[in-house]
Amino acid sequence: MSLSRFTSQPDVLIVGAGPAGLASAIAAANQGIQVEVIDARKPPIDKACGEGLLPASLESLAALGFDLRDLLHIESYPLRGIRFLNDKNIAEAAFPLNSGRGIRRTVLHELLVDQAESLGVRFHWENAVRAIELSRQGPLIRTNRQTLTTRYLIGADGHQSRVSAAAGLNAATTHSRRIGLSQHYAIAPWTNFVEIYWSDHGQAYVTPTSSNEVCVAYVANQRSSTPAEALSQFPILQHRLANTPLSGAARGSITLGRTLHTVATENIALIGDASGSVDAITGEGLALCFRQAAALATALRNDDLTLYQQTHRHIQRLPSLMSRALLLLDRSPRLRNQLFRAFERRPLLFQQLLQIHIRQSPLRVFGTDGLLAAGLQMLTS
Ligand SMILES: Cc1cc2nc3c(=O)[nH]c(=O)nc-3n(C[C@H](O)[C@H](O)[C@H](O)COP(=O)(O)OP(=O)(O)OC[C@H]3O[C@@H](n4cnc5c(N)ncnc54)[C@H](O)[C@@H]3O)c2cc1C
């Protein structure tokens, strides 16, 4: 086969220019690797999201070469902690060291694309992958516009990954499947905490994304056809947002808790949602993408994707456990109410939980004490 029939033959070809694909392109380009990225859409790419970057997500962004001071100059909002609310109780904890950031998905996308371009990454927008063939010369990728080949193929193409199917990597255990809906509201943030409202119908979490806008992500087992219908399940928030104009369109998406059995072959690797995911309520999806990107770049530099397989499992472990613990609270109103009362009485318990979640304390800090430990033990036993 003549190689000249291919329009492009990069060292690394990434399918998907969402946060995972872009972070992966940046991390690989930082290692001097020649990278090209394909996406079916064109920028700025938007998606249903809670739009919160926890402090650990920002640290992972910094590790990719971002100067976090630049975030102060773009449309975004500082986040000081997390607040849980139900109809009777409120529990809150501040991030102990650094703050997080609320940032609109499209703004984050633009930031990542700019960084990738400045490192020489080449993009093929509006290229939908139609077929992938695995030959001895390497993966061959056919889009609606061209045919490309590459040494390493990275699937960053989300939950319905074609790359994962083509590589035979889609065997997975699905722990949870819920429906997310996000909507922006034109209102000045009333707090710099991310507020998570809990009810028997799921959660609504509010992230300030600028000085005049908040993003609300509704996540539930049942689909709501409109943001108003979803909001009606959370009376306190509904009261807070009464008469607030909507800003932009609502976006819906599935959120999965899913662990893939294998995320890499000799020359194909998966990243981001394509490689498994945690429920949206954890606010950890983007952090996972950024951490995986750094691990994948190291494996690519060492020409050994088995390194990535091992690190990926390690990266996924705690967020996956937290995701299952939070979903246990979603399913068990009694446990939830007991725990929220305990959080209100013992704010330190909530603070410790948050610190574990954002990786500033080890999981063992709880020992065998407290309701949460009991819940976590039920999950891990
Ligand atoms: C309601 C909701 C709220 C959330 N809130 C948060 C939060 O607050 N904080 C957080 O960190 N995470 C959150 N998440 C999770 C986070 O959004 C995801 O983990 C993240 O989007 C994963 O990024 P990705 O790049 O893997 O996938 P995606 O963002 O899905 O990107 C995949 C890309 O691949 C492209 N693609 C797919 N198929 C093809 C093809 N055949 N050819 C070419 N291109 C293709 C798509 O166009 C897309 O651009 C939330 C998720 C949901 C659903």
Q: Where are the alpha helices (DSSP H) in the chain?
A: 19-30, 55-63, 105-118, 162-166, 227-231, 235-240, 285-301, 306-331, 333-345, 347-357, 370-380
Atom of ligand 1 nearest to the CA of 271: 26
CA of 290 to the centre of ligand 1 (A): 13
Q: What is the pLDDT of residue 31?
A: 95
Confidence of residue 381 (pLDDT cuts 50, 70, 90): very low
Q: Looking at the predicted structure, is the pLDDT value of residue 368 above 50? A: no
CA of 280 to the centre of ligand 1 (A): 11
Map residue 172 onto helix, strand or coil. strand
Q: In this structure, is residue 90 part of a structural domain?
A: no
Q: Looking at the predicted structure, is the pLDDT value of residue 354 above 80? A: yes
**Do residues 32 and 147 both lie within one domain?**
yes
Q: Which of 182, 11, 32 has its CA nearest to residue 106?
A: 182
Q: What is the pLDDT of residue 336?
A: 93
Q: What is the pLDDT of residue 376?
A: 52
Query: What does DSSP say about strands 12-15 and 35-38: parallel, antiparallel, or unpaired?
Result: parallel
CA of 295 to the centre of ligand 1 (A): 19
CA of 285 to the centre of ligand 1 (A): 8
- In the chain, the percentage of residues whose pLDDT exceeds 70 is 93
**Do residues 108 and 201 both lie within one domain?**
no
CA of 175 to the centre of ligand 1 (A): 18
CA of 158 to the centre of ligand 1 (A): 6
Ligand 1 pocket (Cβ < 6 Å) reads 15-21, 38-41, 45, 47-52, 128-129, 156-158, 162, 180, 182, 217, 219, 253, 255, 272-274, 277, 280, 283-287, 289
- Which carries the bigger pLDDT value, residue 376 or residue 167? 167
Q: What is the pLDDT of residue 311?
A: 97
* Domain end call among 275, 299, 321: 321
Say which CATH number the domain at 297 has: 3.50.50.60
Atom of ligand 1 nearest to the CA of 47: 29
**Do residues 159 and 203 both lie within one domain?**
no
In the beta sheet, which residues pair with residue 94?
81
Distance CA 147, CA 135 (A): 14
Would you state the structure tokens that stand for residue 185, as one six-digit string?
């509201």
Q: What are phi and psi of 268, to 5 degrees?
A: -130, 135
Q: Long-range contacts: 144-150, Cβ < 8 Å, 24+? A: 146/7, 146/8, 147/5, 147/6, 147/7, 148/6, 148/7, 148/8, 148/9, 148/10, 148/13, 148/36, 148/38, 148/124, 149/3, 149/6, 149/8, 149/9, 150/9, 150/10, 150/11, 150/12, 150/13, 150/36
Q: What is the pLDDT of residue 221?
A: 96
Q: Looking at the predicted structure, is the pLDDT value of residue 375 above 60? A: no
Average pLDDT over residues 282-287: 93
Q: In this structure, is residue 162 part of a structural domain?
A: yes
pTM of the model: 0.93
Residue 42: domain span: 3-76+100-174+257-321
Q: Looking at the predicted structure, is the pLDDT value of residue 371 above 60? A: no
The mean-pLDDT minimum among 60-74, 324-338, 367-381 falls in 367-381
CA of 129 to the centre of ligand 1 (A): 17
Distance CA 308, CA 297 (A): 9
Q: Looking at the predicted structure, is the pLDDT value of residue 3 above 60? A: no
Q: Which of 142, 119, 121, 123 has its CA nearest to residue 132?
A: 142
Average pLDDT over residues 352-375: 64
* Domain end call among 256, 277, 301: 256
Q: In this structure, is residue 202 part of a structural domain?
A: yes
Q: In this structure, is residue 184 part of a structural domain?
A: yes
**Helix 306-331 and helix 370-380, axial crossing angle in degrees, nearest 10:** 120
Q: For 204-232, write each residue's pLDDT tens digit.
A: 999 999 999 999 999 999 999 999 999 99
Q: What is the pLDDT of residue 373?
A: 55
- In the chain, the percentage of residues whose pLDDT exceeds 90 is 81
CA of 96 to the centre of ligand 1 (A): 28
Would you state the structure tokens that stand for residue 166, as one six-digit string?
């083509």
Do the Cβ atoms of 178 and 39 come closer than 8 Å? no
Pocket test for ligand 1, best of 49, 103, 289 (most atoms within 8 A of CB): 49
Cα–Cα–Cα angle for 363, 366, 367, rounded to 5 degrees: 100
The mean-pLDDT minimum among 25-39, 83-97, 196-210, 357-371 falls in 357-371
Confidence of residue 349 (pLDDT cuts 50, 70, 90): confident
Q: What is the pLDDT of residue 1?
A: 41
Q: How many CA atoms lie within 13 A of 78 on its CB side?
A: 10
Total domains in the fold of the chain: 3
Distance CA 369, CA 350 (A): 13
- Average pLDDT over the chain reads 92
Q: For 300-310, write each residue's pLDDT tens digit.
A: 999 999 999 99
Q: What is the pLDDT of residue 75?
A: 93
Query: Is the preceding omega at residue 235 within 30 degrees of 0, hence cis?
Result: no
Pocket test for ligand 1, best of 15, 46, 54, 157 (most atoms within 8 A of CB): 157
Distance CA 302, CA 247 (A): 46
Q: Looking at the predicted structure, is the pLDDT value of residue 134 above 60? A: yes
* Domain end call among 203, 238, 256: 256
Residue with tokens 């819940």: 375
Say which CATH number the domain at 246 has: 3.30.9.100
Atom of ligand 1 nearest to the CA of 130: 41
Average pLDDT over residues 132-141: 91
Q: Looking at the predicted structure, is the pLDDT value of residue 380 above 50? A: no
Q: For 239-265, write each residue's pLDDT tens digit.
A: 999 999 999 999 999 999 999 999 999
Q: Looking at the predicted structure, is the pLDDT value of residue 86 above 60? A: yes
Task: Report the nearest-CA residue for atom 16 of ligand 1.
Answer: 285
